[in-house]
Amino acid sequence: MAQAGKNIVVGVGGGIAAYKACMVIREFTKAGHTVTAIPTAAAESFIGTATLEALTGQPATSSVFTGIPQVRHVSVGSAADLVVVAPTTADLLSRIAAGAANDMLTTTLLMATCPVLLAPAMHTQMWENSLVQRNVATLREHGYTVMEPAVGRLTGPDSGAGRLPEPHEIADMALALLEEQELATARSVPATAMPRDLTGRYIIVTAGGTREALDPVRYLGNNSSGQQGAALAACAAQRGAHVTLLLGAHDLPYLPAGVHVEPVTSALHLHHTLTALLDTHPVDAVIMAAAVADFRPTSTADTKLKKGTSSEPSSIALTRNPDILADIVTRYPHLTTVGFAAETGDSDHTVLQLGREKFARKGCHLLMVNEVGFDTTFGQPTNAGWLLGRDGAETRIPRMSKRGVAMRILDQLSTLLATQEP
């Protein structure tokens, strides 16, 4: 996780989604960071500077003629550890891409040498306009991270791509960039934006838990929250991939922007949906982060099983579910596959030893081995473990945010895919 106490600038563009910047700011202050909000003049028509100052405890103005003695148009940007602009309107994208310095926000961006995250929000036709896309490409070439917008309800009755991602997601992505910056500093390498090294790739990610029905009311399940798989899907999309997320039971506060989500329920449902996609689409990689049940009830009751009645079971017979990862490794030999080994360890084996054994059985290209248990990994914001590769490499991944873990996995997946033509 990114260390607390960083200086974060939140720029606010002049769009109807400007009010959501308040929730982004709150996420950063809750995490212990100092926030300075900088609205554009248009944003001040949507949200008052008094609100931004109350949330941050810092002056908020669009003008470079405020705070002259402190030279704020220079000092704020140069002191920033991270800059986030949400929403980033089409006009603001254009001005940033042109190197404009005609207000406090654009001047601050020119001064900033830290990671910058832009979260666009506009009508679908504006987002898809070739001029806007040219500006997005220019900004990415110059080291800015431009998030993919969400798909959903826009202003009025319209719906489509261009909706501002949820505030939680913007904050999560921003803090992941800050975490990447800290790792780069520790390695004495330059800070970089979110890479676009998966552009042109089609990746399927599975996430969440499966539910194996006992009757119309009850099921066998597990404690998977879906967070790690969702982080992988979100980061893969921001790195340029076309991503389909097969999502089982979860407790995610939002669905990742720029990702096509298909809900699944049981292990058999997941298996059927996945193979149907693999049989009909040119998929480059599958990341099996879902917590798939090993067993399911041999039979499912048509009506609710009730205690004290003839339907009350004395035991529940189980049968094995298919090994989905092993099956797709065998059936699709040219597919790049990433598996997960969620282990608790036992009296005879460590988590890593059990992971190595699973890796040998599955035959996938990469396997993320992580320890799970009560209050460990499942439902938690962090993860840790070992990433095993076919070449015998075992990369230790220290405890970090699940987006940080996702980035480490995608780094190695990108390297594998780089030997293939997209």
Contact in structure between 228 and 372 (CB atoms under 8 Å): no
> Could you say which of 135, 222, 370, 383 is catalytic?
222
Measure CA of the first residue to CA of the last residue in the chain; give whole Å: 33
Active site residue 222: yes
Residues 6+ apart with CB under 8 A from 169: 234, 254, 256, 257
Cα angle, residue 246 at apex, residues 240 and 251 outer, rounded to 5°: 100
Q: Any idea which residue has 């396997």 for tokens?
A: 367
Q: Which two tokens stand for residue 421?
A: 């033509």
Q: How many CB atoms lie within 10 A of CB 133?
A: 12
- For 51-86, give one letter per residue: b (16+ CB within 10 A) or e: bbeebbeebbbbebeeeeeeebbeebbeebbbbbbb
What is the rounded CA–CA span in Å between residue 363 and residue 170?
A: 36
Annotation-wise, does 402 bind a ligand? no
- Three-state SS at 287: strand
Is 294 annotated as contributing to ligand binding?
Answer: yes
Confirm or deny that 325 is annotated as ligand binding. Answer: yes
Residue 263 pairs in a beta bridge with 247
131: annotated binding-site residue? no
How many whole angstroms separate alpha carbon 396 and alpha carbon 189?
Answer: 20
Rounded-to-10 torsion of CA 53, 56, 60, 64:
160
Looking at residue 216, what DSSP letter applies? S
323 belongs to an annotated ligand binding site: yes
Q: State CA 328 to chain mean position distance.
A: 25
- Consult the annotation and say whether 65 binds a ligand: no
47 is in an annotated binding site: no
* Distance from C-alpha of 90 to C-alpha of 183, rounded to nearest angstrom: 32
Alpha helices in 193-341 (DSSP H): 227-238, 267-280, 324-331
Which residues are CB-contacts of 17 (< 8 A; sequence separation ≥ 6)?
A: 86, 87, 121, 163, 164
Annotated binding site: 294, 304, 322-325, 340, 358, 362
Please enumerate, by residue number, every residue annotated as part of a binding site for CTP.
294, 304, 322-325, 340, 358, 362
Point out the residues that are catalytic.
222
